[in-house]
Amino acid sequence: MRTAVPAVPQYIIWRDERKISNRNTPPTTQTQTQIAHKKYNTRNMKFITTNFVKCAVKTCDSSVDAFPLQYSDCQIVQEELEYNPEFIVHMLERLEWNAVVKVARDLGNESLPPVKPEGLDPIMEDDQVILRDLHTLLVETQIVEGKMVCRNCEHIYFIKNSIPNFLLPPHLC
């Protein structure tokens, strides 16, 4: 879907100028309606989700390699969603930044800062730019299809139709 790694901006995996608009924007043609409803209106595997899921295998519980999972063969979309700077500021406090950096790298962005941006204030103009970018990265960037691999046990989990599936085969549970 996407090949080259953009140099700028820092936080964004890639900027899709044709961002998919959400359901509040009335679609203009019949075909677009179909796309909006069938394909693009209901994505839930946001980038942010990757920061809260790990390998489900019991024996991987104590391994540092079970989180984050390694993302490969991913198809990504960007969907325009309501920007809520408060949410980003508070979520940032709870994110494992190393995992954010790792997953972004899996998806093709090597340019995230190694240290978590701290103390961002939605009132400050410079911070606003960063918060916007973080919103695009964490919330608007969504994985539609792909694989998640545990770096410890190498089990592969699949994302289909933007739903990550962590059910284990019988021999692993």
Q: Where does this chain bind another protein (CB under 8 A)?
A: 22-23, 41-46, 48-49, 52-58, 61, 67, 79, 81, 86-87, 90-91, 94, 157, 161-168, 170, 173
Cα dist from 97 to 93, 107, 154, whole Å? 9, 15, 23
Contact of residue 46 among another protein, Zn ion, none (CB under 5-8 Å per partner type): another protein
- As beta bridge partners, residue 160 has 163
> In the bound complex, what is the minimum distance in angstroms from residue 115's beta carbon to another protein?
21
Check binding of 157 to Zn ion (CB under 5 A): no
- The site for Zn ion, by CB under 5 A, has a size of 7
Residues 40-59 that bind Zn ion (CB under 5 A): 55, 57
Contacts for 171 with CB less than 8 Å, ≥ 6 apart:
none
User: How far is Cα 101 from Cα 44, in angstroms, rounded to an integer?
Assistant: 20
**C-beta closer to Zn ion: residue 13 or 150:** 150
> In the bound complex, what is the minimum distance in angstroms from residue 155's beta carbon to Zn ion?
5
Contact of residue 153 among another protein, Zn ion, none (CB under 5-8 Å per partner type): Zn ion
**Tokens coding 60:** 């991987």
> In the bound complex, what is the minimum distance in angstroms from residue 16's beta carbon to Zn ion?
32
Characterize 12-43 residue by residue with b for buried, 16 or more Cβ atoms within 10 angstroms of its Cβ, and e for exposed: bbbebeeebbeeeeeeeeeeeeeebeeebeeb
Q: Alpha-carbon torsion 65, 69, 72, 78, what sign?
A: negative
> In the bound complex, what is the minimum distance in angstroms from residue 106's beta carbon to another protein?
17
